Amino acid sequence: MTDQSKYLEDSRLIETHYGEEYENYYNAIVPPVFLNSLNVFPSIDAYFDSDKNDKHVYVYGRVQNPTVRILEDKIAALEHGTKAFVYSSGMAAATTAVMSVCHAGAHIVCVRNVYGPLNTFLTQYCKEYFQMNVTFVKGDLIEEFEDAVTDNTDLIVLESPSSIVMSLQDISKVVQIARKHNAKTYIDNTYCTPIFQNPLDLGVDIVMHTMSKYIGGHSDIIGGVLIANDEDLLKKLMLHRELYGGILGPMEAWLAIRGLRTIEVRLRQHEKNAMAVAAFLDKHPRVKTVNYPGLPSFPQYDLMKKQQKGNCGLMSFEIDSTMEQTKKFCQALSIFKIGVSWGGFESLVEMPYARMTDQEASWLGASANIIRIHCGLEGDDLLIADLEKAFSIL
Ligand SMILES: *Cc1c(COP(=O)(O)O)cnc(C)c1O
């Protein structure tokens, strides 16, 4: 096998070359999609002893697959983790992480602006079926975590920057608190990708990404991944994937490998476009607030600089307008398409809280008419012109 260690020094070499085994597939520069459900063995004993002989064991596709394994090796290396496991969606990864750490009756501390479906999973499913209890924190003040975490806390759930309002948590300080109470920490690192933030280096136990956003990068797959260092934890994350049956399919793995090849160039461009758009919004007279951690006026800019190397194309803002006018503003955009999700090539706009009461939205730190945009790869001049056109109808 080729010596892989030479690729580990630079993330760009991990994305392009690490984890591939050209010699195992006729030296093709791109690995095949291994569309097999099982692998065969020369003898009964060879089957039973398969895990003793080889670093990579392939027996059955719900457990492991060669295309999937290449993707996992790349992501583990990018996140500075021992191993990564990929799942059929970000939520499959997130729920497997929770169920691998928390026991019935567990206490969980979670940031308010965590991805919505994970909030629902914790507060409804885990509560109803496993009597778990969640304490929510806004997350920007470390004292809140100190007050919320108890010796009964199994897990602290972070997302930094968080969904919709992009607020940050001081990751290393939260880790210190967690360790004092023997609680595990989990972070959704989708916003930063492994390129802009590596929480395992800050002591976090489990890092999660949905691959449906920048890792796939082209709005054509659903997938998720968990990365960790602790061997016991990794064993559980792997076993529970096998038992729940939520492994990523080989075709999606292949597309995610292809997405990773260009993740750095894409992200630099998303960041450049988003910085220009955020600066434009920041000085626009109709804009009340812009939530983009890359703006020097962002309240947690110093913390951002401390723990992140950059920011992606996602931001939110509020305009000085009614709900109806704000909807018209969004509908007047033409390059920004109305739709959920983000992280692909295309620019998107949505009003995630538009059907909430003011009280519900304010608990989440925003007004009901907050606008979220994803700056795609179309070009910052075109995106700003599109926004200018929409402002002109107000
Ligand atoms: C989209 C998203 C998820 C969920 O990922 P799926 O692949 O859709 O399950 C989780 N976290 C964040 C921050 C997301 O944006």
Q: Are residues 295 and 207 in the same domain?
A: no
The average pLDDT across 52-56 equals 72
The residue segments making up the domain with residue 39 are 2-257
Q: What is the pLDDT of residues 108-153, one digit of tens each?
A: 999 999 999 999 999 999 999 999 999 999 999 999 999 999 999 9
Domain count, the chain: 2
Q: What is the pLDDT of residues 205-247, one digit of tens each?
A: 999 999 999 999 999 999 999 999 999 999 999 999 999 999 9
Cβ–ligand 1 contact at 119 (below 6 Å): no
Q: According to DSSP H, which parts of 132-203 are helical?
A: 142-148, 171-180, 193-196
Q: Are residues 65 and 186 in the same domain?
A: yes
pLDDT given for residue 57 in this prediction = 87
The CATH number that applies at residue 61 is 3.40.640.10
Neighbour count for residue 169 (Cβ, 10 Å): 27
Tokens read off for 136: 């929510």
Is beta strand 314-319 parallel, antiparallel or unpaired with respect to 337-338? unpaired
Which of 113, 15, 33, 89 minimizes the C-alpha distance to 366? 113
Contact criterion met (CB below 8 Å) for 361 and 377: no
Q: Quote the ligand 1 centre to 282 CA distance (angstroms).
A: 27
Binning pLDDT at 50, 70 and 90, where does residue 253 land?
very high
Q: Are residues 288 and 197 in the same domain?
A: no
Model confidence pTM above 0.85: yes
Cβ–ligand 1 contact at 212 (below 6 Å): yes
Indicate which atom in ligand 1 lies nearest the CA of residue 94. 10
What does the mean pLDDT of the chain come to?
97
Indicate which atom in ligand 1 lies nearest the CA of residue 341. 1
Which residue, 225, 257, 289, sits at the end of a domain? 257
Let me know if 244 is exposed, middle or buried by CB neighbors in 10 A (0-12, 13-18, 19+): middle
Q: Are residues 182 and 33 in the same domain?
A: yes
Q: What is the pLDDT of residues 75-109, one digit of tens each?
A: 999 999 999 999 999 999 999 999 999 999 999 99
Cβ–ligand 1 contact at 90 (below 6 Å): yes
Q: Are residues 22 and 134 in the same domain?
A: yes
Please determine, for residue 55, whether its predicted confidence score (pLDDT) is greater than 90.
no
Q: What is the pLDDT of residues 254-309, one digit of tens each?
A: 999 999 999 999 999 999 999 999 999 999 999 999 999 999 999 999 999 999 99
Which residue, 238, 257, 276, sits at the end of a domain? 257
The residue length of the chain stands at 394
Q: Are residues 312 and 235 in the same domain?
A: no
Helix (H, G, I), strand (E, B) or coil at 247: strand
The CATH number that applies at residue 358 is 3.90.1150.10
Rounded to an integer, what distance in angstroms lies between the CA atom of residue 160 and that of residue 197? Answer: 10
Which residue, 257, 289, 305, sits at the end of a domain? 257
